[in-house]
Amino acid sequence: MTSQAAPAKPLILIIDDIPANVEALGEVLVNDYDVQFALSGSKGLELVRQQAPDLILLDVMMPEMDGYAVFAELARDPKTSKIPVIFVTAYSDADNETRALAAGAVDFIHKPINPVVVCSRVKSHLALKCHELELERLNGELENRVKERTYELEERTRQVEALNIALEQRAIQAEAANIAKRHFLGNMSHELRTPLNAIIGFTGLLQNQVADKGQLEKLARIARSANHLDAIVNDIFDFSNLEAGNLIRTTTDFELKTVIKEVSDIIEPAACAKKLVYTTEIDPSVPGILKGDAAKLKQVLVNLLGNAVKYTHEGSVCIRVLLKRASVDDVDLRFEVQDTGIGIEPSKLNSIFEPFVQADNTLTRQFGGVGLGLSINRKLIEMVGGKMGVASEVGKGSSFWFTMSFKLGKPQTKLVPPYLTPLETLKAHHAKAKVLLVDDDFITQEIFQEVLGEAGLLVDTANDGLEAVSMVVDHRYDLILMDVEMPLMGGVDAALKIRSLPGWGQTAIIAISGNGYDEVKDRCIKAGMNAFLVKPVPLEILYQELDKWLNTGTQN
């Protein structure tokens, strides 16, 4: 008996060798399900393989192949193993029931059948099967989603990794470009400073030797131009040094009044030449002796005051020092540089602190400059923990300000009697001292020989580090002036070698470099040199340093 095909209804297969049993079950189910039957186990398996039913009602006791054997066959095949099977039997003992359920049957119905029980069990198991299928489907979906997501994530990870590699490569390239830039700037600076050193040095010497007014005037112009060029080289150099985060702080005790005086000595002549009133005001409550980086303070003040004079046609330029905060051991000071010059447009007040920016490019020709001073100043001030800003009104003038902290200092003892110039002092203390000058540049050798000769020093020259090392083996020197970059053997290696020779542990070695990078200075000091000067060295500084180190160094 086969029910009419109705695709929406689940298909039930009854396997029983007794037709009356099949008929009884069929009658119960036919209204709600499609029903198939088989009168033997083997026939039943055949039908299952043709069209898998949704549920099987399986008689236990059958000839040839009993219910357990049929069930075992169904369980073996993955295509049929999931079909729910309800055993139907006349046995009522618990053993049979247990055996059937243990084998994997979903349920057990006793004969004679109770129609209500059959319907209810079939319905429940079909519903269960439905849920299982739905669960499987959902699981499958979930697995697919997880797979998709995993793939997406892997893809993202791959992209991020590729990006990281690209970024690393960029960083390596940027670092290489930076190193190349620093090398280039270092070399450029060396190349520029060596001839500048010659120009400034010879000009200085001629100024001392020439009496003709016209010639002196021309020499003064050469000196001004060379100093201007020197300031530009310094700006470019400082900028790249600060950009790389390099800042060496030199802390000394100093008299604030002296620093302001030194700055004024540089600025005042230019202000006077433009008929500007130049004034300095120091708040009386500011302590006289401070401890801090006087060189940086001076550098920033000279720059701001230089700008104030440069951008002011008439009126005044004033420097003011105010006490912001004081404690028992330190102070915060505020410095103001005020002028009555051309002023700055409000829209440019921030950008002028950016490198290479000038408030009005059309003014560049009139005023000169490269637009680096303020950005260097601000960086310098920020690196030592201060702040810098400006207030300005076009046509009325500008007021640049910055803050800087200092410890309270102790009064210094002066080495140089005030009535002698550095040259005279050096001459008085160390005439006939023997100096070895090591430099590969012939013109530099010439200048230093003249400059040192003026002070009465006796100078030998070596053309490179190797020659210097062989000379110190046979001669006694009181001081060595050492260029850093030289062929065959540079100054750093030469200093290391000399320091390792017996009896040369204390003799002063002063590095004179065209490359003022802090790392070059570091290398020189680490190699055992005592001081580091950057070409072109102002004569006064050179004489002072020579005097200081000839006093300090233990002579051989």
* 359 contacts ligand ADP (rule: CB under 6 A): yes
Return the range that interacts with ligand ADP (CB under 6 A); candidates 98-106, 251-259, 266-274, 304-312: 304-312
* 338 contacts ligand ADP (rule: CB under 6 A): no
Residue 363 vs 541, nearer CB to ligand ADP: 363
State in angstroms the smallest separation of the CB of 520 from ligand ADP: 25
State in angstroms the smallest separation of the CB of 551 from ligand ADP: 38
State in angstroms the smallest separation of the CB of 348 from ligand ADP: 7
Burial of 407 (0-12, 13-18, 19+ CB in 10 A): middle
* 37 contacts ligand ADP (rule: CB under 6 A): no
Give one DSSP letter per residue of 292-333, joined into a string.
Answer: E-HHHHHHHHHHHHHHHHHT-SSSEEEEEEEEEEE-SSEEEE
The length of the chain, given as a count of residues: 556
Residue 241 vs 425, nearer CB to ligand ADP: 241
State in angstroms the smallest separation of the CB of 366 from ligand ADP: 10
> Which positions from 360 through 399 interact with ligand ADP, judged by CB under 6 A?
360, 369-375, 398
Instruction: List the Cα angle 177/181/186 in 5-degree steps.
Output: 150
Distance CA 286, CA 324 (A): 9
> Which positions from 396 through 415 interact with ligand ADP, judged by CB under 6 A?
398
Which of 16, 339, 440, 478 is the binder for ligand ADP (CB under 6 A)?
339
* 301 contacts ligand ADP (rule: CB under 6 A): no
Q: How many CB atoms lie within 10 A of CB 291?
A: 17
> Which positions from 476 through 495 interact with ligand ADP, judged by CB under 6 A?
none
State in angstroms the smallest separation of the CB of 352 from ligand ADP: 4
* 512 contacts ligand ADP (rule: CB under 6 A): no
Return the range that interacts with ligand ADP (CB under 6 A); candidates 147-155, 187-195, 352-360, 417-425: 352-360
Specify the residue for token string 């004969």.
111
Residue 19 vs 368, nearer CB to ligand ADP: 368
Whether residue 236 contacts residue 370, with contact meaning beta carbons closer than 8 Å, is answered with yes
State in angstroms the smallest separation of the CB of 225 from ligand ADP: 16
State in angstroms the smallest separation of the CB of 390 from ligand ADP: 8
Backbone angles phi, psi at 200, to 5 degrees: -65, -40
* 344 contacts ligand ADP (rule: CB under 6 A): yes
Which of 42, 80, 358, 449 is the binder for ligand ADP (CB under 6 A)?
358
* 553 contacts ligand ADP (rule: CB under 6 A): no
Total interface residues for ligand ADP by CB under 6 A: 19
Whether residue 88 contacts residue 59, with contact meaning beta carbons closer than 8 Å, is answered with yes
Q: How many CB atoms lie within 10 A of CB 382?
A: 13
* 300 contacts ligand ADP (rule: CB under 6 A): no
> Which positions from 127 through 186 interact with ligand ADP, judged by CB under 6 A?
none
Whether residue 291 contacts residue 253, with contact meaning beta carbons closer than 8 Å, is answered with yes
Residue 40 vs 399, nearer CB to ligand ADP: 399
State in angstroms the smallest separation of the CB of 398 from ligand ADP: 4
Name every residue whose Cβ is closer than 8 Å to that of residue 88 and which is 6 or more positions away in sequence: 16, 21, 25, 57, 58, 59, 60, 109, 110, 111, 113
Whether residue 289 contacts residue 253, with contact meaning beta carbons closer than 8 Å, is answered with yes
Task: For CA atoms 234, 237, 242, 243, give the dihedral sign.
Answer: positive
Specify the residue for token string 């000091």.
525
Name every residue whose Cβ is closer than 8 Å to that of residue 136 and which is 6 or more positions away in sequence: none
Residue 399 vs 405, nearer CB to ligand ADP: 399
With CB atoms as reference, the residue minimizing the distance to ligand ADP is 369
Distance CA 486, CA 530 (A): 19
Whether residue 301 contacts residue 256, with contact meaning beta carbons closer than 8 Å, is answered with no
Whether residue 315 contacts residue 339, with contact meaning beta carbons closer than 8 Å, is answered with yes
State in angstroms the smallest separation of the CB of 199 from ligand ADP: 21
* 342 contacts ligand ADP (rule: CB under 6 A): yes
Residue 374 vs 550, nearer CB to ligand ADP: 374
CA distances from 258 to 21, 265, 542 (A): 124, 10, 20
Residue 392 vs 515, nearer CB to ligand ADP: 392
Task: Provide the Cα torsion 35, 37, 41, 47; round to 10°.
Answer: -70
State in angstroms the smallest separation of the CB of 307 from ligand ADP: 4
Contacts 24+ apart (CB under 8 A), 91-96: 91/60, 91/61, 96/60
Residue 89 vs 398, nearer CB to ligand ADP: 398
Which of 53, 292, 341, 491 is the binder for ligand ADP (CB under 6 A)?
341
Which of 37, 108, 311, 504 is the binder for ligand ADP (CB under 6 A)?
311
* 307 contacts ligand ADP (rule: CB under 6 A): yes
State in angstroms the smallest separation of the CB of 306 from ligand ADP: 8
Distance CA 455, CA 208 (A): 13
Return the range that interacts with ligand ADP (CB under 6 A); candidates 20-28, 137-145, 305-313, 493-501: 305-313
Q: Convert residues 85-124 into a mask of x (bound to ligand ADP by CB under 6 A) and - (unbound).
A: ----------------------------------------
Distance CA 179, CA 454 (A): 41
Q: Convert residues 38-67 into a mask of x (bound to ligand ADP by CB under 6 A) and - (unbound).
A: ------------------------------
Distance CA 36, CA 42 (A): 14
* 352 contacts ligand ADP (rule: CB under 6 A): yes
Per-residue tokens: 397: 């003038």
Which residues contact ligand ADP (rule: CB under 6 A)? 307-308, 311, 339, 341-342, 344, 352, 358-360, 369-375, 398
